[in-house]
Amino acid sequence: MKKLFYILLPVIITTLRVEAQNPSWVVPDDQKGKICLVRFTSDMAKQGEVIYLKNCQSCHGLPTKKNFASIQPSPGDLSENKVGTQKDGELFYRITTGKAPMPEFRNILTEDERWSVISFLRSFHKGYVQPDPEKMAASIGKRIKLSMTYDTVKRRILVKAVELTSDGPVPAKGAEIVVFVKRYFGNMQLTDPKPTSENGYAGFEWPQDLPGDKSGNVIVGARVNDPTGNMQEAIVSDTLAIGVPTNKPALTDTRAMWSTRDKAPVWMILIYTLAVIVVWYFIIYILLSVVDMRKIKQV
């Protein structure tokens, strides 16, 4: 019995480890009914494909190809039925919030981009019928519109949120606003989220050492942060001259592993070239050896 226990111990440990890494991913009930406010189109699916290939393919692979990454928990093929039977709101929630090892995409992709990815995935789900946006728009929460201004003297960004109602726009009180700056690999949040006042305003200060481009320009964005789904996510962005002028080359202009082929590091080019030479040396050596062996047999 003791011997059997030690034999099964590695299996038990592995099972517990997988269970710990892959607990059930429960989507809140108030998020499941979230839908896209526009019809999915072929153009939208094509845009979603571009976004998917850039952000999702490395782990999930190509839909229907089952070439997803061998990691735990398994990312799976997103064309499978277990994905196709999920509601749009469930897919949107999972893409937005993420769960290790899947990253959170709320600060990487806009709401429209996330819906475009879902539109692309739905093209692989047979029998899928999109919920009617017009019939359900009235029951999916508040619609918010944002605008943004800034004061260079007080170094303060002012975001205004208004709720679009049937009676016209009114100040959106208590809407949680997040301000971020766009960076090469995604969005960098500037400060903690802040709720809007009774007049629909939220103010944010930016750091004095915020790096910008050569002219000090920074692309600043603001969005509604509402995980409850009671407000439709809104986003606004603008190029503001609030950064410290920084004369640094772009990431793709330098020799680095993430750069283009022409800007690959010299050591990587040398190693690759050497590897190709060695491989071809052995191929030619083997071919010549085979030829010599045939000559010896003929003799």
Across residues 269-294, what is the average pLDDT? 90
From the centroid of its chain, how far is CA 52?
9
Rounded Cα distance, 163 and 145, in Å = 6
> What is the separation of C-alpha 67 from the centre of its chain, rounded to a whole number of angstroms?
19
Among 122-126, 142-146, 173-177, top mean pLDDT goes to 122-126
Name, in order, each residue with C-beta under 8 angstroms of 268's C-beta and a sequence gap of 6 or more. Answer: 257
Q: Please give the span between the terminal C-alpha atoms of the chain, in angstroms, as a whole number.
A: 67
Please indicate whether residue 115 or residue 12 has the higher confidence score (pLDDT). Answer: 115
pLDDT at 19: 40
Tokens of residue 157, six digits: 């960004």
pLDDT band, very low/low/confident/very high, at 147 (cuts 50, 70, 90): very high
Q: Which of 74-83, 165-174, 268-277 has the lowest mean pLDDT?
A: 165-174
Phi, psi dihedrals of residue 157, rounded to the nearest 5°: -100, 130
What is the dihedral angle through the alpha carbons of 85, 38, 54, 229, rounded to the nearest 10 degrees? -70
pLDDT for the residue numbered 267: 87
pLDDT at 5: 46
Residue % of the chain over a pLDDT of 90:
37
Average pLDDT value for the chain: 82
Mean pLDDT within 282-294: 88
* 155, 159, 227, 247, 294 from 211: Cα distances, Å: 14, 21, 30, 10, 69
Of the candidates 143, 96, 146, the one whose C-alpha atom is nearest the C-alpha of residue 117 is 96
Cα–Cα distance list, 45 to 11, 35, 120, 246, 287 (Å): 43, 16, 4, 38, 50
Spell 224-233 as b/e; 16+ CB within 10 A means b. Answer: bbbeebebbb
Percentage of the chain with pLDDT > 70?
Answer: 82
Per-residue pLDDT tens digits for 21-38: 445 678 888 788 888 878
Q: Which DSSP string do the residues of 4-46 spell out, in sequence order? A: HHHHHHHHHHHHHHHHHHS---PPPHHHHT---SS---HHHHH
Give the sign of the dihedral formed by CA 59, CA 64, CA 67, CA 71: positive
pLDDT level of residue 260 (50, 70, 90 thresholds)? low
Rg (CA), the chain: 27
Short-list 71, 117, 113, 69, CA closest to 91: 117
Q: List CB contacts of 21: < 8 A, sequence separation 6 or more.
A: 72, 73, 100
Whole-angstrom Cα distance, residue 223 to residue 107? 10
